[in-house]
Each structure stands twice: as C-alpha cells, then as structure tokens.
Amino acid sequence: MNLLLRGAAIAAVLHITPVVVLVKRPDAVQTLLPGADSYVAREVHLSDPDAHRLHGLVDWSPDDGVLTFYRGKAGGTDVGALTFARVDTPHGPIEVAVGFTPQGAVRGVVVTKATVEMKPWVLEAVGAGLVERYRGLKPGDVPAGAAALAEHTGKLAVYVAGEVDKGVARALAAYGAFYNHVRA
Amino acid sequence: MLYDLRRADLPIKWLVTCLLATLGISYVFGALMVSLYAGFTPERVAATYGGRAMPMPMPPETTMVMEHAMSMAEFARPEVHEVDTNLLIQDTHVHVPMYGVIAAALSLVVAGLSLSQGWAVALITLLFSAPWLDFAGMWLTKFVSGRFAPVTLIGGWAMGLGYVAVAALAIQQMWFRTRGVDR
C-alpha cells in the first residue's frame, strides 16, 4: 500500500499541466508584424544534411523537418517575418513567437503558450522585462534573457527565461541559416 | 466471503462511495480534457497522435521552400494539439501508473461485490485492459497507422464503462439491496 501511495504521489507531482494560450497567434502576428495587411507562409523543407546542420547549431531541428516562417507586407513593402518556436521542458511545452525586421534583427518576442504550471513564471519573467532583452539580436548572437533576469526575479522566472532563450536561439538559427538562403 | 461490501460497516460503505464519487468527478473532467485536446473522433485522435499528414514522404535531397498566402483568419484557426514522441513517452510514464492505481482501487471494490467469480474477473480485466488499450492505440497511431486511432477511443470508452459498471453495482449493492443480506 505504501508503494502504491508513493507511486500516486510521484505521478501527481510529475503530471504535466495543460497548455494555456497566453497570447493568441493573431495578436502575436499583429504585434510582431505591425501594419502588415498580407502574409505569406514560407515553409522550408529541410534536407537531412541541413537538418543536421541546424541541430549542430542549437541542438534542435523540427520534428517534421519543416521550418515555417510568416512574411508580412504592408501594401508592397516588406514588414519582416516571424516564426513560432516550441521548446519542450520537463514542465511541458512553451511556445515563443519571434519577429524579425526586414534587416534581419529581432523586432520582438512574444511568449504565446505555456502550461498552467509555468504561466506565473512566464508572467513574472515577462513583467521583469524578459522579452525586451532580445530586441535587436541578429543571427549569431546568443540570447541571454535568463542571465539578465538572474538578480531581479525568482528562480522559476529565471528558469523559464532560460527556456525562452532556447526558443529564441532556435528561431535565430533557423532564420539565419534558412530564411533568405534558400530559393522558393 | 469475509470481504462483502453489502455487509460492510457504514464507514466502509461511505469510504467506497466517496472514492467512487471522487473518481467520477475526475473522469468527467478527464473526458472534458480529452474533448479539448484530442477529441472523440478517430480523425482528431489520429491527428493528435499521428501528426499532420507528411507533406513529403522523405526529407528532400536538397532543402526546398514552398510558399503560400496566409490570411489573418488562418492564424486564428484552432490548432491541432499534437503529441510528439517525447510528450507521448512522458504521458505514458505519468498516466499508466496512475491508471494502474485507479484500476486497482476499483478492483478492490469489485472484490467486495456480490458477483460470480467469472463476472468479477471480467470486470477486473476490463478495468486494467482499458488503459492498456488506450495507450496501445496512441503508440500504434503514432508509429504504425492512423487507422489504430479507434483503439484509443475504445480504450477510453472502456475506462468509462468499467467505472460506471463498478460504481452502479457498488452503490446498488451497498445502499439499495437489502434482500438476502444478513446485517
């Protein structure tokens, strides 16, 4: 019986809480591609060598082998692009939207999804200015949101900032290597 | 038999009733959660565990780009909740032990019911095999074919059926059946 109770307790502790939407995708798109009135989805189907190359850069490549970027235009003018990056953590998945200017720098980052458990950590990290730390980064730069928050927030907010760092790093690597370097 | 819920003291009957009520609440919310994330149709289950139909059967020899126009409405379209292999490993690791504990608790109730041994064994088998089917269906859907999605649905409904059967029999025998019972 003791074993059963311990098993139940461990299962309860490890249970991953449901995913919640923190910011709806259309809202993230409007924030990161301001003024855009038309959008094009650019799906990059990676060859095995390119998938391995990306994996070598950020220890990740997409499960289905496809990177998806969304390009926005206002009239005929390029507004930039964005991509959604998902990071699987022991506490469940987290999703970040990373927007780029037409010059290829990070315009902004929005945490769009987390789990019920992680939501307060995300809100604390974002409230402490996490996403502002990524503005202006370019492919090749290393996101350091967690390090910037270390002195100002609780440990769990710093932890979640580290996971957001991973998402931003993946988006930067994918954008830098494949957004403009493969012809449609 | 010494362990007979019909003749059990009031605190034991109340304990079993509270256990069944608590499990019933968790099952109702479990069903609501399934409706939110995986759905109750083979198509939605296949999409959840099998993933999107692969746009290409194999990775291309050289990286390729496909473009298509998007509307804002498409960004707003509800996404299919996809369970990838890592998440399925985690789900299996977390849920199967808990389902085992629940099946064991319900089986202990079955053991205290006035049933033939055949029916008792059948009910206990149903209680344990339902979650096995549920997760077997998820793994088969992911790695063999989306045609196995109904196995997950059958497993889920079988879990519900097992619970309802045990709860109905237990409540009826503990609280409503008085004929032929020595008190």
User: Å from B55 to nearest chain A CA?
Assistant: 9
SS3 A42: strand
How sure is the predictor about B49, in pLDDT bands with cuts at 50, 70 and 90? confident
How sure is the predictor about A109, in pLDDT bands with cuts at 50, 70 and 90? very high
- A125-173 pLDDT, tens digit each: 999 999 999 999 999 999 999 999 998 899 999 999 999 999 999 999 9
Report chain B residues whose CB lies below 8 A from the CB of A43: 55, 65-68
Burial level of A30, CB count in 10 A (0-12/13-18/19+)? middle
SS3 A22: coil
Tell me, yes or no, if A46 comes closer than 8 A to chain B by beta carbon: yes
Partner-chain residue, chosen from A12, A93, A182, that has the shortest CB–CB distance to B65: A182
User: To the nearest whole number, what is the mean pLDDT of chain A?
Assistant: 89
Q: In what order do the strands lie in the sheet with A19-21?
A: A19-21, A106-115, A92-100, A77-89, A66-74, A38-45, B64-70
The amino acid at B137:
G
pLDDT at A47 over 70: yes
SS3 A116: coil
Mean per-residue pLDDT for A60-70?
A: 89
pLDDT at A184 over 80: no
Mean per-residue pLDDT for A76-96?
A: 93
How sure is the predictor about B1, in pLDDT bands with cuts at 50, 70 and 90? low
Give chain B's contact residues with A (Cβ, < 8 Å).
Answer: 33, 36-37, 51-52, 54-56, 59-72, 75-76, 79, 81, 84-87, 90-91, 93-95, 97-98, 100-101, 104
Can you give the C-alpha Rg of chain A in angstroms? 18
- B65-96 pLDDT, tens digit each: 999 999 988 888 767 777 888 888 988 998 99
Tell me, yes or no, if A41 comes closer than 8 A to chain B by beta carbon: yes
pLDDT at B47 over 80: yes
- B98-157 pLDDT, tens digit each: 999 999 999 999 999 999 999 999 999 999 999 999 999 999 999 998 899 999 999 999
Least confident residue range of A63-67, A159-163, B27-31, B138-142: A63-67
Partner-chain residue, chosen from B51, B67, B81, that has the shortest CB–CB distance to A41: B67
pLDDT of residue A55: 94
pLDDT of residue A9: 47
pLDDT of residue B36: 79
pLDDT of residue A52: 94
Partner-chain residue, chosen from B64, B76, B94, that has the shortest CB–CB distance to A45: B64
pLDDT of residue A11: 43
pLDDT of residue B53: 52
Nearest to A149 by CA among A121, A168, A170: A121
DSSP string, A55-110: HHHHS---TTSEEEEEEEEETTEEEEEEEEEEEEETTEEEEEEEEE-TTSSEEEEE
Instruction: For chain A, positions 3-22, list CB contacts with chain B under 8 A.
Output: 4, 7-8, 10-12, 14-16, 18-19
SS3 B88: helix
pTM of the model: 0.64
pLDDT of residue A19: 82
Partner-chain residue, chosen from B67, B84, B90, that has the shortest CB–CB distance to A16: B90
Confirm if A69 and B63 have CB atoms less than 8 A apart: no
- A9-24 pLDDT, tens digit each: 444 444 567 788 999 9
Structure tokens at B169: 């029999």
CA-CA distance, A144 to A163, in Å (whole number)? 11
pLDDT of residue B182: 55
SS3 A45: strand
pLDDT of residue B100: 95
User: Å from B122 to nearest chain A CA?
Assistant: 23
**A74, β-bridge pairs:** A77
SS3 B40: coil
Residues 6+ apart with CB under 8 A from B96: B131, B135
The amino acid at B69:
A
CA-CA distance, A20 to A113, in Å (whole number)? 6
